[in-house]
Amino acid sequence: MSKQTHEPEIGLIEIDRDITLRRMLVRSTAPTRTVLLLHGFPETILGWKDISLALAVDHDVHSFDWPGYGLSSRPPVDRFAYAPADYARVLKGYIEAAGIDRTKLTIYATDIGALPALLLALDEPDIARSLIVGDFAPFNRPALMWQNLQALKSKPSSDHVRAAMNAGRDEILQNTFFRGLPKQAHYDVPQAFRDDMAKAWSHDGMTVVDAFYHYYASFTRDQDHFEANLARLKTPVKVVWGSDDLYITKDMGAELAERIRAELNVLQGIGHYPHLQAPEQTVVEIRAASR
């Protein structure tokens, strides 16, 4: 990917009394559109750095750490539930606090970031010019999910998975991005990104696994709400999925695309993290959607 000389601006932005987000902004000298990049588990904003630099030729590019991830706030659960619906409110708050022009905005959302974006679009169809979503679980279809993700959807299995994942920090950070891929398909994960995830694993008494666990505690409820209200979704959506996604199979993406009548692009040989494995393709998808 071609890169610009822009340096990312990394700082904090307050959303409300409980939530302050760490965000990364790469400004274009001649922006025609704006892109907001939403990460998944166990990522941070640094996973978007190269893509942001490539898009900054003619886009202003935003990203932020979700609450519970990176260096964003991790308030107690009695004040913030970490559910997809709560993340949807954070997303709306960020767009407002950052002063983003919705008419020029494309949102690219993966993994835990995708359902919040769609939930927000149900209520506010003009939240963005277009959405790109992929490699997540829009519907309650446990059979299409990896076993550990299935187990997170209800107690007592979710408590066992939470404990095991918290104990397995090093293994998760080493292997999460490559599961289900043959050795020859493994790719480089920038060391600065790895270091950032490790540094931010535990913060303010909560780990990223804890945040992930709480997200799943209300996941089925928010999936069911989304499915029951599909007819209200008016924002243009494109679905992009890795053909070799082990965590959430491409059948989930195919069902979503069919039911909302969206374009589906299945990326051959790609796993759960297309933006890390095939960043050039991600840039192509975003440019096409933001025209």
149 vs 143: CA distance, rounded Å = 10
Per the listing, tokens 């990364």 go with 24
Residue 32 structure tokens: 């025609």
Residue 169 pLDDT: 97
CB 107 within 8 A of CB 235: no
DSSP 8-state symbol, 125 = G
CB 132 within 8 A of CB 242: no
136 vs 93: CA distance, rounded Å = 22
Residue 73 pLDDT: 98
SS3 276: helix
Name which of 164, 149, 169, 136 is nearest 253 in CA terms.
136
Per the listing, tokens 């659960």 go with 77
What is the full per-residue pLDDT of the chain (291 aa) written as tens digits?
444 447 899 999 999 999 999 999 999 999 999 999 999 999 999 999 999 999 999 999 999 999 999 999 999 999 999 999 999 999 999 999 999 999 999 999 999 999 999 999 999 999 999 999 999 999 999 999 999 999 999 999 999 999 999 999 999 999 999 999 999 999 999 999 999 999 999 999 999 999 999 999 999 999 999 999 999 999 999 999 999 999 999 999 999 999 999 999 999 999 999 999 999 999 999 999 988
One-letter amino acid at 47 equals G
SS3 219: helix
One-letter amino acid at 22 equals R
94 vs 287: CA distance, rounded Å = 22
In Å, how far from its chain's centre is CA 146? 18
One-letter amino acid at 148 equals N
The count of C-alpha atoms lying within 13 angstroms of the C-alpha of 105, restricted to the half-sphere facing its C-beta, is 25
Domain chopping of the chain, boundaries:
9-289
109 vs 114: CA distance, rounded Å = 5
Per the listing, tokens 């909302």 go with 260
Count of beta carbons in the 10 Å neighbourhood of residue 144:
20
The count of C-alpha atoms lying within 13 angstroms of the C-alpha of 118, restricted to the half-sphere facing its C-beta, is 33
Which class is 9-289 in CATH? alpha beta
The count of C-alpha atoms lying within 13 angstroms of the C-alpha of 172, restricted to the half-sphere facing its C-beta, is 19
Rounded (to 5) percent helix, strand, coil in the chain: 45, 20, 35
Name which of 222, 251, 225 is nearest 239 in CA terms.
251
Residue 3 pLDDT: 44
Residue 227 structure tokens: 């499915």
Burial class (CB in 10 A: 0-12, 13-18, 19+), 156: exposed
